[in-house]
Amino acid sequence: MGVSFSLSRPHSKRSSIRAKISVSGTSIFLYTGVSIDTEHWDKKKCFVRPYVGKTTTTRVLRILKELEISILDLIDQYKHGRPRLSFVELEEKLQELVESPYNKYNKEKKKSVVTKESFNDFFKQFYSDCANGIRLTPKRQKLKPTALSSYVNSKKMFDKFQKEQGCEIALSDFKQEHIDAFGDFMINDMEVAMNTHSKAMMEIMQVIKYAVKLKKLPASRLSELEFDTRREETDSIYLKESEVLELLEVKEFDEPMHEIVRDVFVIGCFTGMRFSDYTTIDTAAIRENRLSFIQKKTGDRVTLPIHPIVNQILNKYNYQLPEVTTNNIFNQILKQIGAKLPSLQVLFTKQVTYKRERQQIVKKKYEFLQTHTARRSYCSNEYLKGTDLLVIMAISGHKSHKSFMRYIKVSGDEFAEKLEKIWAARESKAI
């Protein structure tokens, strides 16, 4: 935080002087209301050259020094005052320091920044701008439908929070106390998991960032707010290859769609694709037993070999996979099919944080089956087989080792078994 001075027109014969106030990562420019011949400006020191006995420059020096002291005093009130100045109040008082038409203009401009638009109304604008491609991703692309639906869920939770509080929060009044209260509401009242809480907080933060970008909130607001976006690693199941093959042995289904769901899910287990990709495979893109496609989530191109079992399934449908149902219904059907497997009747303990306490959820393994289990199964099985990590990541589309390792859901016994095999192979080579 500090104050510096500069010429607004350094290459002109005469120029007005402006002050730059740096505070909370934001720069505020203030016209001082005084001008000077540029030949009297010290470029290195960014200040007026001192001349003994020269009345004009001496007067300007005195004005700038007094202004600097006043600015620093206001910054101190903003940082340490009791009560502390808000950023908006700081801006107002800074503009009031100098009688200048420029500052009167800036003052009116500043006042337009603060709006009584409700947070809900701005959230709607945020969603609309995302859906219509006005607000883009960092890669300058429109948000995917899955990302948009996630924002809808977060808004619904925030709506419930406001209803519970009996108030409608104005965008300009959005403060840390609202963030903390919303977090408590999600955790204690809605009983959402820690990662669901984190996701909602990240999305509310994006809304606030967009409000700052559109100048509906001062830039300092972001530095004043803290969002708890901590996540946790949760226990999730994967299917061993033997369990996937056992799934293929199921012959009796309650409905024809159940067999289609089973087959499409198995394709995911041998390709590492996401649900949005393995349910919409373009078989015409298969060349020389390889499929090259654009991942719907990331927009990245991935090329993968077609596993023999995947080939069998594609042949079964004459390389025209039937359309499947929605993700939620797909998950329900998966659990019904999984219940037919003896190997999935074992108990599985999943640890997850609810109400800020680590809790254990114990269910039969098949009850944890979901569309994303296929992707985890592919990564974990290839890892256990000793496939090079870079090869697996190239096929799965993971960009970092850290994100990839979240998919490895191997038990301690399986790690021990893998190490024993490595020892045995090492000993056989030594012999």
**Among the four given CATH numbers 3.40.1130, 3.40.50, 1.10.150, 2.40.160, the one describing domain 119-224:** 1.10.150
Model pLDDT for residues 283-304, shown as the tens digit of each residue: 988 999 999 999 988 888 999 9
Question: So what's the pLDDT on residue 291?
Answer: 94
Higher pLDDT, 98 or 352: 352
Predicted TM-score (pTM) above 0.75: no
Mean pLDDT in residue range 190-212: 94
The rounded distance, in Å, linking the Cα atoms of 244 and 335 is: 14
Is 275 within 8 Å of 372 (Cβ atoms)?
A: yes
The pLDDT-based confidence of 56 (bands split at 50, 70, 90) is low
Question: So what's the pLDDT on residue 1?
Answer: 63
Q: What's the CATH fold of domain 241-427?
A: hpI Integrase; Chain A (1.10.443)
The rounded distance, in Å, linking the Cα atoms of 368 and 238 is: 9
**Mean pLDDT computed over every residue of the chain:** 87
The rounded distance, in Å, linking the Cα atoms of 195 and 317 is: 39
Higher pLDDT, 53 or 323: 323
Enter the DSSP assignment of 369. -
Question: So what's the pLDDT on residue 279?
Answer: 92
For residue 407, is pLDDT > 80? no
Q: What are the residue boundaries of the structural domains of the chain, listed by start?
A: 2-113, 119-224, 241-427
The rounded distance, in Å, linking the Cα atoms of 265 and 277 is: 11
The rounded distance, in Å, linking the Cα atoms of 372 and 380 is: 13
Question: So what's the pLDDT on residue 140?
Answer: 85
Question: So what's the pLDDT on residue 192?
Answer: 93
Mean pLDDT in residue range 403-420: 77
Q: Which range is most confident: 44-53, 76-85, 114-123, 239-248?
A: 239-248
Question: So what's the pLDDT on residue 266?
Answer: 97
Model pLDDT for residues 84-137, shown as the tens digit of each residue: 777 877 888 887 777 544 444 344 444 444 447 899 999 999 999 999 999 998
The rounded distance, in Å, linking the Cα atoms of 92 and 89 is: 5
Distances (CA, A) of 169 to 85, 163, 225: 21, 11, 16
Higher pLDDT, 209 or 95: 209
For residue 200, is pLDDT > 60? yes
Which secondary-structure segment (H or E) carries 204?
A: helix 194-213
- Burial class from Cβ neighbours inside 10 Å (0-12, 13-18, 19+) for residue 307 reads middle
